[in-house]
Amino acid sequence: MSLFDMTGKVVVITGSSRGIGLAIAQEMAVHGAKVVVSSRKQDACDAVTAALNAAHGPGTALSVPANISSKDSLRNLVDTTRAHFGRIDALVCNAASNPYYGPLAGISDEAFRKILDNNIIANHWLIGMVAPEMLERGEGSITIISSIGGLKGSTVIGAYCISKAADMELARSLADEFGPRGVRVNCIAPGLIRTDFARALWENPETLKRSTAVASLKRIGEPHEIAGAAVFLASRAGAFTTGQTLVIDGGATISGGA
């Protein structure tokens, strides 16, 4: 059996109707997982679910829309998943918000709170709903999609970077709490990826040039290039990995020296 085999495992992925979340859902299904597709819009979730079921067999995927800003909506996501599949083996917290692009001095309190609420507190809520059954079984994997923004400063997405740095610490602290009972918590920190979410960055010629110029691979990433890491962390291949932030950025954070 492959170390990356996910057969029989149930994986919940937020923000999985497009971008990185969609790529993770697709790759989890390829490796045999039962996938719960979740984002805000029912029709978007249903389209992904239909495609996964067509490609990998009926019953592979379940569509459960959820708004991460609503605790009740997240509770419904968890309850519906358990009612349908009976358990949750892995969680990928991918959904996030970034409603503001500009210096921190100009951000409104409302926008700042939305970023912190959706990118940190919502993850804490959802993990708190899913973790108890994992702890009881003595196994499980939780992955938060963070960002290299959490490792760097920014003049235009500072609040988002703050939230992603907090996600890394959330993973470290929960890994320490949950580890003795067999549950692992990690982060993936992508660099600039060609998604709708990051469109304001990669469609800006100057930002794109700056990002690719310092990266070792001299290009931005594609969503599928993050998906393999999510499978690694959720599968037996990642069984001894916890509390870590796996940076996948084409070398953007290690390059730039003379």
Mind telling me the catalytic residues? 160
**In a 3-state reduction of DSSP, which class is residue 38?**
strand
Tell the residue number behind the tokens 């996938």, with chain if given. Answer: 35
Cα distances (Å, whole numbers) of residue 128 to 10, 51, 70, 92, 105: 17, 30, 14, 13, 33
Report DSSP letters for 41-61, one per residue. Answer: -HHHHHHHHHHHHHHH-TTSE
Report DSSP letters for 100-126, one per residue. Answer: --B-GGG--HHHHHHHHIIIIIHHHHH
Element (H, E) at 153: none
Q: Is 197 exposed, middle or buried (0-12, 13-18, 19+ CB in 10 A)?
A: middle
Q: Is 74 exposed, middle or buried (0-12, 13-18, 19+ CB in 10 A)?
A: buried
In degrees, to the nearest 5, what angle opens at C-alpha 192 toward C-alphas 26 and 144? Answer: 55
**Separation between Cα atoms, residue 160 and residue 100, nearest integer Å:** 8
Structure-token pair, residue 102: 């500009």
C-alpha 246, offset from chain centre: 12
